Structure 1
Amino acid sequence: MKKVFKGNPNQQLKAERELRGWSQKYVAEQLGADHYYLSRWERGSAVPSPYYRQKLCTLFGKNARELGLLQEDAPLLHEVPAQEQEVPSVTIPQSMEKEVHDPTMPLFVAEGIGIVGRDGLVHRLKECLCRERGIALTALGGLPGAGKTTLAASVARDADVLEHFADGILWAGLGPNPDVLSHLSRWGTLLGVPAIEATRLTSIEEWIKTLRLIIGTRRLLLIIDDVWRIEAALAFKVGGPHCAYLMTTRFPPIALQFAPNDAIGRARTGGE
């Protein structure tokens, strides 16, 4: 008969998660784990492997003892799913500490070109993106020609934003038929994933897990421009706990889906 590990509920891990307003599903996504792992860990029916224990400590900014991950009195037999032991083969690059400069970011920033009330909008976006509590999800919606891309690029070059997101800014311009895999691969290159290892990552899911691992606790602003489908935007939620997202779309329902609390509308003003 197979023995089953049965430990005590991990109230510390649950409390730290709820303190940040994170769901079990969200934490699992940040770890690149199946969604039911968090439920098992918090119930005490399984314990994280060393690989996931390290990732949990990085995500929460706490040590293993503070997260209740050290169970000195637990039996040696741990029920840990086999796939939990799998560690992505990609090597974390030494260059990852360098600031990221995305060359695809639009160069036209300008001083109010086609944007009425630009300063007020920039200030509001900065407040949403640079707050310290929780992960910032901000969406900028409006009709074609409302200056959304220009405004997003302007925010990305703001001195306060650049100082806050000291590790850099990533940009993905999607449109109606985005090549999501190509964009994620390009982000990987910018973050220092070696070319020989990048060739082994052939699916969107593999790239998402790899980028989350590499970004870790870095402070990055991820901009997803001209989104036509919410599924495409969600594929770029690869940042860690200190990252923020700014998405632009011409479709208000997508803006609300992506950022229910910070969806900002734009009227047509004659520039995009």
Structure 2
Amino acid sequence: MKQMRISQLRYERERRGWSRGYIAEKVEVDVVTVGRWERGEQLPHPHYRQKLCNLFDMSAQELGLLPEVFPEANGQNVMETDKSPDEITVVTAPENQGEVSNAIAVLPSTAQLPTSTSVKSTSVSSTLLRHRRKLLIGIGGLLGAAAVAKVGSSLLFPASPLVVSKVAPESACLHHFFDVNSSNWVNKLAWSPDGQMIASASDINEIAIWSIEQQLIARYYHTTPDEWVNDVSWSKTNRIASVTANYNHAGTLQVWQFPQDNPLLTLYRPYAIRTVSWSPNDRYLSFASHATVVEIWDPFIPHQVSKYVYPELGLLGINRVKWSPTGNLIACAMDDGTVHVWEPFTVKVKAIYRGHQPRAADLAWSPDERHIVSGGTDKSVHVWDVATGHAVYIYRGHTDEIEGVDWSPRGNYIASASKDLTAQIWEAFTGKLIAKYEGHNSTVETVTWSRDGKTFALGTDKQGIEIWPSPH
């Protein structure tokens, strides 16, 4: 039977804090049947489908209960600057990458912008939602809902190259790491400062530290039982930070000094934590979750320095947080399709880019800090200018949702990972496809370059980790 997008049902259940038993009781079936629906092993009978729709107050299509293919949505982007707080520049990116209209729209005075909060030293206690695939319902745009504008000048996107059936890598895979004791579902990867090791965040409660030269697991870091690790970040001073989630919809942030055993810091949250990132100077940690908040901490005191609040996100979450190379800005990819850029300590909003529908899954900064690349569930990867909010290039070489993106340290290439079972490397501003990494039978979840740019790693949801030489 063809696999269907039934896992949307699980996403909606979990974000409401409901158990499978609760669904089974309300719909009058057994728990096993609910599990089959969520795994896509069978479709609900129309009678039960209607009960599910009534229970969730959503349509069958929104719950992913229909077998038909979902139409691909067009993208938009919005850029908001502190220079002109009453205006928003809106750019629409058509599916065929033709002309793009600019418009000026007035932001209503009642609009709620993200807020800044400074918090004194505090001891926080609270505990992670499964996030493997952050599926969600496509929702209407926020901020732009109040926009009425006149059309201005147009912007032309370069044509995206056709995906060639075989653009073989010029070199063979250097290493393939497969842990026989785990499912080899890799959510995220992080390189050690010297490039000799790589840490993997998995769907169980452990971070595996792989020795690349020895081709073995040098050690494990274990989190609380019944959790899975959503993200991992490795600082230049050998501190490893991880964030987790569990079935109780709670989350944990932990920090270790590699290779020591005991964590330096453990923070609990009553919501799943999805993403974590060290500042370039290794002084601060930013992390975000299945909630409307990005927190910045000094983990060595420890205390919260500031937080970025985005109330319009509602029940949705934040998928990725990344510091800019200088540490002057932070960007975060949202479940509502937007990417936000802001100052980490004043929490002053510099830009809000709307280029993806319905979800922005991942992002990365260019080495010169002038551009951001973001990938979404709309199968597209956008390269856009931080200062203007305009998309410079939209890459449409993938045939399914984008899971991960990264920008090479030299700035010439972008790598993208997708549910279409491939990773692709292409020129950052022309979209020329350089190499396509095929042969996987599962989603390529993440891709990341080594710090020196000589190699890159990709992680899959069944086949472990691959290390490849970077194209020349």
Range class of TM-score, shorter chain:
under 0.3
Larger Cα-atom Rg: 2
Bigger helix fraction: 1
TM-score (normalised: structure 1): 0.26
**TM-score (norm: length of structure 2):** 0.18
